[in-house]
Amino acid sequence: MNAILAVDGLSKSFGGVHAVREVSLAVPRGRIFSVIGPNGAGKTTLINVLTGILASSGGRVHFEDRDLTDAPAHVVASAGMVRTFQNGRLFQRLSVLENVLVGAHHLLPQSIWSAIVGAARSKLDEIRTEARQLLADLGLADDADRLVGALPYGRQRMVEIARALVSRPKLLLLDEPAAGLNSGEVERLRGVLETLRAQGLTLLLVEHNMGLVMRVADRIAVISFGEKIAEGTPAEVRADARVLEAYLGHGYRHADD
């Protein structure tokens, strides 16, 4: 299998708590790969370790044949593995458009000189045009010049996706993008995710909203108490006894009887 992201035995412990325990994943290119699990299973910790927010306690992360284990966050993002956050982390003092432009930082020359008189200026103008188009595609055309805090929550989540997309990611990691969205907004999100997949982007979707996951995911991994307990297509995962046990608790079979 042609995996864009290969996670091999990744662990993360906080003192004696094993938040992630030897998890291995192979995320296939151009698909929506979903990671699900009960609250506190370690899904967000997993994403944090993958994207350089937290240091791992063991295991390796390979992204497109590059070893990105414990690489700093900006290196991971520059390599093409870009994430969004569970609670929506935007820059409150910047406009919507400016928030999105921050995501393009690694595409621009880094010197102060180039920012004042050099190539960074014309390049930023190009990216600004691109970012406006991206915002328009996500239904945020009229919000581009507003302060980001003035937007309703659902739209703020979309701004975060736009900020990730302007980085030109190869793999987009979404940490509970549907959390707090109403059903209309979830439908819109589903459309966005499917469009991105159709454009060839790989998505790693951590999500609680089972309706969404079961409909869009090509493959699902289930994590419980930091360990991967199952992996397969949505149909396979839905039928897996260990998954039902993790979600519903031990003894659900007796309730059936």
Q: Which residues bind another protein (CB under 8 A)?
A: 51-53, 72-74, 76-78, 82-83, 85, 89-95, 98-99, 101-106, 108, 110, 112, 115-117, 120-121, 124-125, 128, 145, 163-164, 167
Three-class secondary structure of residue 217 per DSSP: coil
Distance of closest approach, residue 155 Cβ to another protein, in angstroms:
17
For residues 63 and 81, is the Cβ–Cβ distance under 8 A? yes
Distance of closest approach, residue 99 Cβ to another protein, in angstroms:
8
For residues 212 and 178, is the Cβ–Cβ distance under 8 A? yes
Distance of closest approach, residue 114 Cβ to another protein, in angstroms:
8
Pairing of strands 202-206, 171-175: parallel
Complex with another protein: residue 2 or 122, whichever CB lies closer: 122
Complex with another protein: residue 134 or 220, whichever CB lies closer: 134
CA distance 72 to 66: 14
CB atoms inside a 10 Å sphere around CB 199: 9
For residues 196 and 174, is the Cβ–Cβ distance under 8 A? no
CA distance 50 to 62: 10
Cβ burial, residue 205 (10 Å; 0-12/13-18/19+): buried
Pairing of strands 219-224, 58-63: unpaired
Position 29, amino acid: R
Distance of closest approach, residue 76 Cβ to another protein, in angstroms:
8
Complex with another protein: residue 145 or 236, whichever CB lies closer: 145
> Measured between alpha carbons, how far is residue 77 from residues 68, 120, 163, 217 in Å?
10, 19, 11, 23
Complex with another protein: residue 35 or 222, whichever CB lies closer: 35
Distance of closest approach, residue 106 Cβ to another protein, in angstroms:
4
For residues 19 and 12, is the Cβ–Cβ distance under 8 A? yes
Complex with another protein: residue 33 or 85, whichever CB lies closer: 85
Distance of closest approach, residue 138 Cβ to another protein, in angstroms:
17
Complex with another protein: residue 128 or 197, whichever CB lies closer: 128
